[in-house]
Structure 1
Amino acid sequence: MANDGVDKSEETEHMIEKDAARERSNVLGDTKEIRAVILSGFGGLNKLRVAKKAMPEPQEGEVKIRVKACGLNFIDLMVRQGNIENPPKTPLVPGFECSGIVEGLGDNTKGFEIGDRVMAFVNYSAWGEVVCTPMEFVYKIPDEMSFAEAAAFPMNFVTAYMMLFEVANLREGMSVLLHSAGGGVGQAVAQLCSTIPDVTVFGTASSFKHEAIKDSITHLIDRNADYVQDVKRISPDGVDIVLDCLCGENTGKGLGLLKPLGTYILYGSSNMVTGETKSFFSFAKSWWQVEKVNPIKLYEENKVIAGFSLLNLLFKQGRGAQVKAVIDKLMLLYKEKKIKPLVDSLWALEEVKEAMQRIHDRGNIGKLILDVEKSPTPLMANDSTETSEAGEEEEDHEGDNGNKERMPFIQ
């Protein structure tokens, strides 16, 4: 009988140890998974889900970042639609910029320590709780910069700075025509122009945005008005710099408004995005409306035409060191309180569809941010973006959410 008691006691202890080991295994399993926004295929908003994925680990020369905030850009809409050149394979995690805290370092990674507050460029995969990216794309941020501001900073301000100062050579007394003046890049351009004396900024924007941005733009023009005539009425000779994120017929209009020695820069093609999914008609129309550039005409009129893609510069053309030098200059301007990212609103990961719709509708003034630690509103938590193990929920139907009131945190 005594032996039976001992056997039972040992069996009980073995079961307890086994259960404890299982619990430890479950805990370890949880720590090796993260939440992320998954794009299951190219198309509409119903291709986006929040799901769990494996925890990424840093490779040699990489920094592992516990993400606090991610930036949303118009290029993210075009990626979702597959409306870009050589789109990547799906499923994928979208997003190109984020901010957070350094959580790990790969071999031979220098210049960073665990706990550093940083912002970073990522070649996709930014919209998750943890990302890994090469150290050359990671930048420390000052203590006074919030994570939301940091996530709103890299794409917008680097794009604006390099177009103005490294492509167009902005100087005192010059004039700039800027489309989508109320957006993230638009407001970054306006702030950087204000650092140079006597720069005149013409900006097109939806009329409901005018009151909010009137102090940053010299001459505001309704986006639906004939901006060519409005510019010429104020400045008959035109402008020195045109920054075009629209493309299509605006290319010819922009070139026509340039002064001699002026520079036209194309840095986007948002006119190709008209509906929720990729439209061949919109693409063809925009392409057809682009003025065919004649180099001889440029030579005769002393005009410059250029293009700018920050993502290509970073990830395809290897100019990370050049971008790092620009980030350093921008940080000095931030510390001197000459520039400051304008955050439109904060959204939970589960609210990514609604955030994207706000960009699509051109409703934002400044930058939209995904706040990784933000809880969704009860309404959002019950809709089709809720967390899923597999990310394979049934697709919602268009119009299902049309009557729901959306309440993000607006800055």
Structure 2
Amino acid sequence: MKRVTIPKAGDSGVLILEECPDLHPGPGEVRIAVKAAGINFADIMARQGLYQDAPAFPFTAGYEVSGVIDEIGEGVEPWLKGKSVFALSRFGGHASQVVVPQSQVFEKPDSLSFEQAAAIPVNYLTAWQAIIVCGALQPEDTVLIHNVGGGVGLAALDIAQHIGAKTIGTASPGKHDYLKARGLNHAIDYRNNDWFSELMQLTGGKGAELILDPLGGESWRKSYKALRSPGRLAMFGISVASGHGLAGKLALAKTALLMPFFHPISLMNQNKSVFGINMGRLWHEPQKIRVWVDKLMVGLEEGWVNPTVAKAFRLEDAAEAHDYIESRANIGKVVLTV
């Protein structure tokens, strides 16, 4: 098998493609011959040495894959062998093989390519938790989606549009035409304009009922201020802390210092809520995840779930894929193919 290994913290140049012995599943596990694997910003920060949940170096990143089950462990249902699936992986996904528990595997619909299937698990489950489970978005609400052109952003846009809410998103100006064609009600150019002022203008000074913010630090303060009462702030990721070497560590420290403190009394008095999302900390809830995936598969059949692949790179070109994500040029998901 082949895998992309991160031997030490650094820029994309540290990535190594290795040949390794084949994996074999244990009891209750399956081996997937990987066809495509999703890349998330968590993988970038793990490579930079800034992600708290990453294993010790060296390790292989990757939280999600799609492919074909080619070997099963003891106790696994025999009919699964040979099935095309997508799955959540606890790292190790950026490889030609991955072994995962059967509980983390979902049958791939025929309507999806392997690349599209790899774009579902992390992005759509994060968006589902933010919009539906914790965010309780209603048709009469306004939702602000930061980085709406990214993988989670587009997934959130799909779900919010299905609900019927008013959608506002921040994105670089080169992505606005695509996002409007996708159905976004209002696109805000965060690079050249103050998104807070524009949001307030669009909402008559009231703000948004729900805000999705993957940036962290000072942005969370600003997003909380932009909430209408009653409003909810979904926090996931701290992408503003991304960086290499000493600069990355300083950015992370600065981001941590600028994070807001939410006092319970203030939350009550302002009728506002805040919540955090980390899909990498939900391994103990496979039944709940399966319920969410089932509902997303209904959305796929009905046409309101539209996994978008920005670009696919070969496993051998993982460094180029990392650079592409860090440039923030992608609209949708970036995947590695085997």
- TM-score for both structures, normalised by structure 1: 0.79
Asked if the contact 1:267–1:309 (Cα under 8 Å) also holds between the matched residues in 2, the reply is yes
Alignment match, 1:92? 59
- In structure 2, the gaps of 5 or more residues are none
Report matched runs for 1:84-233 at 5 Å: 84-110=51-77, 112-197=79-164, 199-215=165-181, 216-224=183-191, 225-233=193-201
SS at match of 2:162: coil
Supply the AA of the counterpart residue of 1:368.
V
- Distance in 2, Cα, partners of 1:65 & 1:278: 38
Out of 278, 289, 300, the residue aligned to residue 309 of structure 1 is: 278
Following superposition, the deviation at residue 87 of structure 1 comes to 3.3
- Distance in 2, Cα, partners of 1:310 & 1:137: 13
Q: In structure 2, do the counterparts of structure 1 residues 343 and 87 end up closer, same or farther at CA, with 3 Å as the change threshold?
A: closer
Identity rate, percent:
31
Alignment match, 1:282? 251
SS at match of 1:54: coil
Note if 1:338 corresponds to 2:304. yes
Asked if the contact 1:117–1:140 (Cα under 8 Å) also holds between the matched residues in 2, the reply is yes
- Distance in 2, Cα, partners of 1:86 & 1:328: 27
Runs ≥4 in structure 1, deviation > 3 angstroms? 274-278
Residues 35-73 of structure 1: per-residue CA shift (max 9 Å, x gap) = 111111122212201110111100000011111000011
Asked if the contact 1:98–1:121 (Cα under 8 Å) also holds between the matched residues in 2, the reply is yes
Following superposition, the deviation at residue 277 of structure 1 comes to 7.0
Asked if the contact 2:38–2:336 (Cα under 8 Å) also holds between the matched residues in 1, the reply is yes
- Distance in 1, Cα, partners of 2:245 & 2:293: 34
Asked if the contact 2:151–2:308 (Cα under 8 Å) also holds between the matched residues in 1, the reply is yes
Q: In structure 2, do the counterparts of structure 1 residues 86 and 126 end up closer, same or farther at CA, with 3 Å as the change threshold?
A: closer
Q: In structure 2, do the counterparts of structure 1 residues 277 and 124 end up closer, same or farther at CA, with 3 Å as the change threshold?
A: farther
Q: Which has the larger radius of gyration?
A: 1
Alignment match, 2:295? 329
Alignment match, 2:329? 363
SS at match of 1:66: strand
Following superposition, the deviation at residue 112 of structure 1 comes to 4.5
- Distance in 2, Cα, partners of 1:37 & 1:340: 28
Out of 225, 234, 241, the residue aligned to residue 202 of structure 2 is: 234
Supply the AA of the counterpart residue of 2:222.
K
Following superposition, the deviation at residue 114 of structure 1 comes to 1.5
SS at match of 2:187: strand
Number of aligned residue pairs: 335
Q: In structure 2, do the counterparts of structure 1 residues 79 and 141 end up closer, same or farther at CA, with 3 Å as the change threshold?
A: same
- Distance in 2, Cα, partners of 1:87 & 1:298: 32
Following superposition, the deviation at residue 291 of structure 1 comes to 2.1
- Distance in 2, Cα, partners of 1:111 & 1:262: 48
- Distance in 2, Cα, partners of 1:123 & 1:112: 24
Supply the AA of the counterpart residue of 2:173.
S
Which 10-residue stretch deviates more, 123-132 or 36-45?
36-45
